[in-house]
Amino acid sequence: MSASPKTAATGLPDASELQLDANGRLRHLLTLKGLSRVGLTELLDLAESYLSPLHQPVIRSSALRGRTVANLFFEPSTRTRASFELAAKRLGADVLNLDVNMSSRKKGESVLDTIYSLQAMQIDVFVVRDAGAGVTSFIARHVHDHVSVLNGGEAHISHPTQGLLDLLTMRQAKGRFEDLKVVIVGDIAHSRVARSAAEGLNTLAVGELCLVSPDAFAPSPADFPGATLTNDLDAAMRGADVVMALRIQRERIGSYEGIPSIDEYYARFGVTHERMKRAAKGAIVMHPGPMNRGIEIESSLADGPQSRITRQVTNGVAVRMAVLASVMAAREQR
């Protein structure tokens, strides 16, 4: 048995212990927990350097020339998978997108045998999305010393690159975290997005983080130290600078008992123009996607001037470039 401390959320050894190398540099990205304020800020600054205006050519670099990145998505994805692919290509890497449904995992091959086979083809970075808690850390413990594992979304536990792109989006809009009020509303209990955002915001000393959910989706307070938990969205919206709506994670819910109907949900927890009137002047609206318009967010609000939803997607490519470039730079210094 490992003597490592265990997380409240998973009961598994703390992933944050694994991700830095002996020099304190990023080897894997498994969680935002345990990354320092300086480390987070450096990643956000590097991501900024990869952004160009939408109508101009994308920024490219040769930081990953001769390297190969494998996308292993054992759960569906549009944004994360596409942006990791684009990020790797813009850094000069070859990219393998494993078609999981046509892979030998369907014939019963274990995840580790899949990894070992791909590693033998000189994969340098694995990007892994999986419904199982602890799978990305498990893989990280078993890859060769020179190989990095990046978490592309782990169960309800962690989505660190989503957390980074959300932090970048808030920083671009507001320029600071210390006196910001951030409201996240929806299915908090099952949300890896909320967990990673909260971990990053805590490290960056956010002014106030308020998590709003129906009682059926209320998380364990131990998973969100420092945050306020409530089921009263109207009260939470007062003075909010950032409002992030979340999707109901139907794929992670065992029982629907106690969950409001769609109409009731929208009436109590939908982020609408009317509710945004309670927020601070200049407040922004975010959503990690995929969105259910008219359930967790009013459609015209999602497309309106307060929305930063497409900016989040744009930032996703830059953030993933920053993470890929960072793990490769750390490798070259080992």
39 binds ligand CP, rule: CB under 6 A = no
310 binds ligand CP, rule: CB under 6 A = no
Least distance (Å) between residue 172 CB and ligand CP: 18
Residue 13 or 296 with smaller CB distance to ligand CP = 296
160 binds ligand CP, rule: CB under 6 A = no
Least distance (Å) between residue 55 CB and ligand CP: 24
Taking the C-alpha atoms of residue 296 and residue 75, their distance in angstroms, rounded to an integer, is 22
Least distance (Å) between residue 261 CB and ligand CP: 25
Residue 239 or 289 with smaller CB distance to ligand CP = 289
Closest CA to 83 of 293, 318, 311: 318
Least distance (Å) between residue 329 CB and ligand CP: 25
Taking the C-alpha atoms of residue 158 and residue 266, their distance in angstroms, rounded to an integer, is 26
Taking residues 135 to 154 in sequence order and writing x for each that binds ligand CP by CB under 6 A, - otherwise, the string is: ------------------x-
User: Which residues, 6+ apart, have CB-to-CB distance to 19 below 8 Å?
Assistant: 26, 27, 28, 29, 30, 31, 34, 35, 140
Residue 249 or 326 with smaller CB distance to ligand CP = 249
Task: List the one residue from 16, 119, 158, 162 that touches ligand CP (CB under 6 A).
Answer: 162
User: Which residues, 6+ apart, have CB-to-CB distance to 260 below 8 Å?
Assistant: 214, 216, 268, 269
Taking residues 267 to 296 in sequence order and writing x for each that binds ligand CP by CB under 6 A, - otherwise, the string is: ---------------------xxx------
Residue 214 or 288 with smaller CB distance to ligand CP = 288
Least distance (Å) between residue 152 CB and ligand CP: 7
Taking the C-alpha atoms of residue 63 and residue 326, their distance in angstroms, rounded to an integer, is 9
Q: List the structure tokens of 253.
A: 């819910």
252 binds ligand CP, rule: CB under 6 A = no
Least distance (Å) between residue 162 CB and ligand CP: 5
Residue 164 or 330 with smaller CB distance to ligand CP = 164
Q: How many residues bind ligand CP (CB under 6 A)?
A: 9
Least distance (Å) between residue 316 CB and ligand CP: 8
83 touches 72 (CB < 8 A): no
Q: What phi and psi values does residue 129 have, to the nearest 5 degrees?
A: -120, 130
Residue 311 or 331 with smaller CB distance to ligand CP = 311
151 touches 77 (CB < 8 A): no
Query: Using only C-alpha atoms, what is the Rg of the chain?
Result: 19
User: Which residues, 6+ apart, have CB-to-CB distance to 62 below 8 Å?
Assistant: 91, 92
User: Which residues, 6+ apart, have CB-to-CB distance to 157 below 8 Å?
Assistant: 7, 9, 10, 31, 133, 134, 192, 195
Least distance (Å) between residue 154 CB and ligand CP: 11
Closest CA to 136 of 5, 35, 30: 30
Within 41-100, which residues bind ligand CP (CB under 6 A)? 77-80
Q: By the criterion CB under 6 A, which residues form the site for ligand CP?
A: 77-80, 153, 162, 288-290
